[in-house]
Amino acid sequence: MYEIIEKEELGATIKLIKIHAPLVAGKALAGQFVILRIHDEGERVPVTIADFDREKGTITCVFQEVGRTTRELGTFKEGECLRDFVGPLGMPSHIENYGRVACVGGGVGVAPVYPIARALKEAGNEVISIIGARTKDLIFWEDRMGAASSELLVATDDGSYARKGFVTDLLKEVIEDKGIDLCLAIGPLPMMRAVCGLTKNYGIKTVVSLNSLMVDGTGMCGCCRVTVGGETRFSCVDGPEFDGHQVDFAELARRSTIYKDQEKISLERYEEKGPQPHRCRCGGEE
């Protein structure tokens, strides 16, 4: 059982949980993820490692409530436990001194960008981070991102905070003002696709982290397959980071909606029945 030792609301639907998982924390690196189950009957949910503390044995995850499981996870309190917490999974980010790097995070994608930006800065890069969200309520970790970056730029789609516009508007300005040697982008698929469309015009290498549907997370089921440079790759073991200019985003977008009807039914059932009462066996609600 994996105890939630800290919980924080970062926005209306965005929550942070810090989990005691010393074996995972001991090996975690920026860019990797975990797969968790909230109780015995829970589905397997991949979530990126947003931070880790090897000494305290903790992993921090930030998630957005989008469906049945993330909604129920959002009701967990400090002291309650997760059933499974498997990781670290996936390949870590490739960290080296590239020169000037733009780290672009959209929505909840800011959380996975954070440890990568920090590692890139520690490796000697000038890190210009650009974070954005639809509206002010969905902006979080401005302080952390500021500390992990040489410069931080913020945008909201509706102009309710900082610059009005998309992260791609700010990225274009940075490219034209200063130039960049590498771009890292994590966020919703349309955002990553738009970033790649922009950087391709300037010939700037761009790394994206793909949230393809996953089941086992160990390369056995094939659920997470994506086409990269015309070849089939498994996001869970070959990724989740790939060369964004090689990713078939149209196929990825199609595949990520294939269970839409079942997800809707599952959420409706959850809304009728509410959270499972039996979920925690170690100190929280029985």
16 is a site residue for ligand FES (CB under 6 A): no
Q: Which is nearer to ligand FES, 86 or 162 (CB)?
A: 86
Q: Which does 70 bind (CB under 5 to 8 A by kind): ligand FAD, ligand FES, none?
A: ligand FAD
Q: Which stretch binds ligand FAD (CB under 6 A): 108-116, 126-134, 157-165, 198-206?
A: 108-116
Q: Which does 102 bind (CB under 5 to 8 A by kind): ligand FAD, ligand FES, none?
A: none
Number of neighbouring beta carbons within 10 Å of residue 275: 16
Q: Which is nearer to ligand FAD, 98 or 234 (CB)?
A: 234
91 is a site residue for ligand FES (CB under 6 A): no
263 is a site residue for ligand FAD (CB under 6 A): yes
Task: Tell me how far the alpha carbon of residue 221 is from its chain's centroid.
Answer: 22
126-145 positions binding ligand FAD, by CB under 6 A: none
| Dihedral sign from CA coordinates of 243, 244, 250, 255 | positive
Q: Smallest distance, Å, CB 259 to ligand FES?
A: 14
189-228 positions binding ligand FES, by CB under 6 A: 214-217, 219-224
214, 226, 228, 280: which one contacts ligand FAD (CB under 6 A)? Answer: 214
69 is a site residue for ligand FAD (CB under 6 A): yes
25 is a site residue for ligand FES (CB under 6 A): no
14-53 positions binding ligand FAD, by CB under 6 A: 33, 45-48
| Residues in contact with ligand FES by the rule CB under 6 A | 214-217, 219-224, 234, 236
The residues of the shown chain that bind ligand FAD, judged by CB under 6 A, are: 33, 45-48, 61-64, 66-70, 108, 111-112, 211-214, 240, 256, 263, 267
